[in-house]
Amino acid sequence: MTATTTTKRIEALNDFVIKFANVNGSGSASANELFAKSFLRMGIPVSPRNIFPSNIQGLPTWYEVRVTEKGHLGRRGGVDLMVAMNPQTWDQDVKEIDAGGYLFYDSTKPMPKSKFRDDINVVGMPLTEITNATYTDARERQLFKNIIYVGALAGMMGIEPEVIAELIGEQYKGKEKLLKPNLNALQLGLNYAREHLKNALGLKVKRAYNVGDKIFIDGNAAAALGAVYGGETVCAWYPITPSSSLAEAFQFYCSKMRVDKATGKNKFAIIQAEDELASIGIVVGAGWNGARAFTSTSGPGISLMSEFVGLAYFAEIPAVIIDVQRGGPSTGMPTRTQQSDVMKAAYLSHGDTKHVLLFPHDPNECFEFSALSFDLAERLQTPIFVMTDLDIGMNQRLTPPFTWDDSRRYDRGKVMSAEELEAGKEFGRYKDYDGDGVPPRTLPGTHPSKGAYFTRGTSRDPYARYSEAGPDYQYNMQRLQLKFEHAKKLVPQPVLTPAKHPARFGCIYYGSTSPSMHEALEALAEQGIYINALRVRGFPFQDEIFDFVASHSKVFVVEQNRDAQLKTLLVNDAGINPVSLISVLHYDGTPITARFIQKEIAEIVTALNVRPITIRKDKAA
């Protein structure tokens, strides 16, 4: 049954947003993922996002699928087709649909006209009636209903049925009892759409060739694999959303790559500690002993780790913390994304502390920065924070294949050898010999009688001897600051995206904001608003960031938190005049959209009375 309530229809080929509104625990997740992956198999880039509650079953969940042949991987904003399967959220879901868009729903029970909108197209299918007539088991009715609507959507949009059938075959390989019923349910949906819903949707799919050799992976799995390649041997963690799957993925990859083939013994240690405090304590202890160690956590865990991180900073012990950020404070929104821990991580612990932060923007950089973080931790002898978030960590995304140079050697930093000690080379554990603030260290057992020192969290002199003398304390704190300045040369450089035409305005952004930012820049350029964009990838900030701000009249700082945390860091640590910076803030827990960025910046530019630039087509060419 199809009811069209308006003459206007969104017509689009390989470029639209579909959102599924389901109930958590209904089995819809696997069906929705099959639907998303079918576009990839047809060569069309897709970027799905799972928006789910923090309980196990019963509350609303959404799955948003961005399909675009252009390859945009951020959220666009708006919905072209809403698959409304949850009565609890009906009104909210219907409200989200763009004018001229489509509402697909279970029409088994009649709905009053007041529940629809006059400016959208309604497509009804009696899903419950079909499942009740086909299946007797209540759970089967619930599960196969999801596959039936996937089949119907495939029929209406032109998705090749063989592609979905192939995906189902892969999912249930070796499980023939499940394979056949799922294929039958798919066919039920296809048949109904072909018979009753011809031309119901103006959203169509055509095979393309824009995926290439890209891989489809989430940031947590990518970071875990990066840790393996980065030489990590110890992981201590405590389960917390949204980082738990990172430690689980690390265990999976280690079981494949870190088991001695001859003996069958593990060449790694993974410890699920009793809490986050114990986790970071284990990591610090392992790092002191010479192992490469990390923990994965989120905001509440970061808060608990404060004292041990301060010890690692002051005693100069390598450690890596992968922070998959979520909404805070307190328990906050455990299953929603935010860039909410930037300030906390940068200055974690009491006293004067500053930590090195890395900001990956996709799974590829999660892999790269995870591996890099262990080199940085040992070279700088300090905690390193890899700042991902739920959007990157838990959502699969298209990304270039990971690359690794097999000739690469781990940078262990300034570790003195037994030969150097035996030859009488001076060893001042906290003495700066090279002018970069980084002292030498020894590992336990290096020499039977030389190179030992007492590791303490109290003040000391350059030779690790206890001291409360003011000059000794100041020397140590100034050396730590010098080391932090030296880190500017080691953290990833910012990436500049210049506008195609001269631009008065600049924009600074980081992390998961990146894909939506790039789409917003294109849309703004179409309005005649040209912006040079700089993606920050690490802290401490390089001088290029200061120069970038100085070369523009105003610079937008786009981030996903309430308190403009990156902007605050830019003012505090890069010496940037706050008058030059304009915050664009998004913090409702959902990933930022291109439309949001475009709207906010365009409104501010208009308020500043800046006239958009009109480029003649002959000159633009």
Tens of pLDDT, residues 475-485: 999 999 999 99
Please provide the average confidence, as pLDDT, over all residues in the chain. Answer: 95
Other CB atoms within 10 Å distance of the CB of residue 174:
6
Domain-wise residue ranges, the chain: 2-204, 216-399, 414-490, 495-620
Poorest-pLDDT segment among 25-29, 210-214, 386-390, 486-490? 25-29
What lies within 8 Å, CB to CB, of 379 at 6+ separation is 411, 412, 413, 414, 438, 490
Confidence of residue 57 (pLDDT cuts 50, 70, 90): low
Asked if the model's pLDDT at residue 276 lies above 80, the reply is yes
Poorest-pLDDT segment among 168-182, 351-365, 397-411, 507-521? 168-182
Asked if the model's pLDDT at residue 215 lies above 90, the reply is yes
Same-fold call for 216-399 versus 495-620: yes
Q: What are phi and psi of 528, to 5 degrees?
A: 85, 15
Strands 2-4 and 121-125: antiparallel
Confidence of residue 391 (pLDDT cuts 50, 70, 90): very high
What are the CA-CA distances from residue 68 to residues 8, 40, 88, 218, 321 (Å)? 22, 11, 30, 19, 35
Q: DSSP class of residue 415?
A: B
CA distance 518 to 524: 10
CA distance 226 to 408: 14
Which residues on neighbouring strands pair with residue 389, listed in sequence order? Answer: 325
CA distance 351 to 93: 48
Judge contact between 53 and 34, C-beta under 8 A. no
| Mean pLDDT of all residues in 364-375 | 98
Place of tokens 């924070």: 385
Q: What is the pLDDT of residue 222?
A: 98
Per-residue exposure over 77-115, b if at least 16 CB sit within 10 Å of its own CB, e if not? bbbbbbbbbbeebbeebbebbbebbbbbbbbeeeeeeee
pLDDT tens digit sequence for 434-450: 999 999 999 999 999 99
Strands 234-237 and 269-272: parallel
Q: What is the pLDDT of residue 104?
A: 98
Judge contact between 437 and 490, C-beta under 8 A. no
CA distance 221 to 535: 23
Judge contact between 342 and 566, C-beta under 8 A. yes
Judge contact between 29 and 222, C-beta under 8 A. no
Asked if the model's pLDDT at residue 621 lies above 50, the reply is no
Q: What is the pLDDT of residue 53?
A: 83
CA distance 481 to 486: 9
| 245: Cα within 13 Å, side-chain hemisphere | 16
Q: What are phi and psi of 475, to 5 degrees?
A: -60, -45
Confidence of residue 619 (pLDDT cuts 50, 70, 90): very low
Place of tokens 């690692």: 312
- Best CATH choice for the domain 495-620 from the list 3.40.50.920, 3.40.1110.10, 1.10.10.60, 3.30.300.30: 3.40.50.920
Task: Of 478, 119, 104, 512, give the one whose Cα is nearest residue 325.
Answer: 512
Strands 97-106 and 121-125: parallel
Task: Of 455, 436, 435, 434, give the one whose Cα is nearest residue 444.
Answer: 455
The class (CATH top level) of 216-399 is alpha beta
Q: Give ∠ CA 442-446-447 in degrees, rounded to 5.
A: 115
pLDDT tens digit sequence for 83-121: 999 999 999 999 999 999 999 999 999 999 999 999 999
Asked if the model's pLDDT at residue 232 lies above 70, the reply is yes
What are the CA-CA distances from residue 99 to residues 33, 203, 397 (Å)? 26, 14, 28
Q: Write the DSSP string, 444-467.
A: TTS-SSSS-----SS-B-TTS-B-
Asked if the model's pLDDT at residue 68 lies above 90, the reply is yes
CATH architecture of 2-204: 3-Layer(aba) Sandwich (3.40)
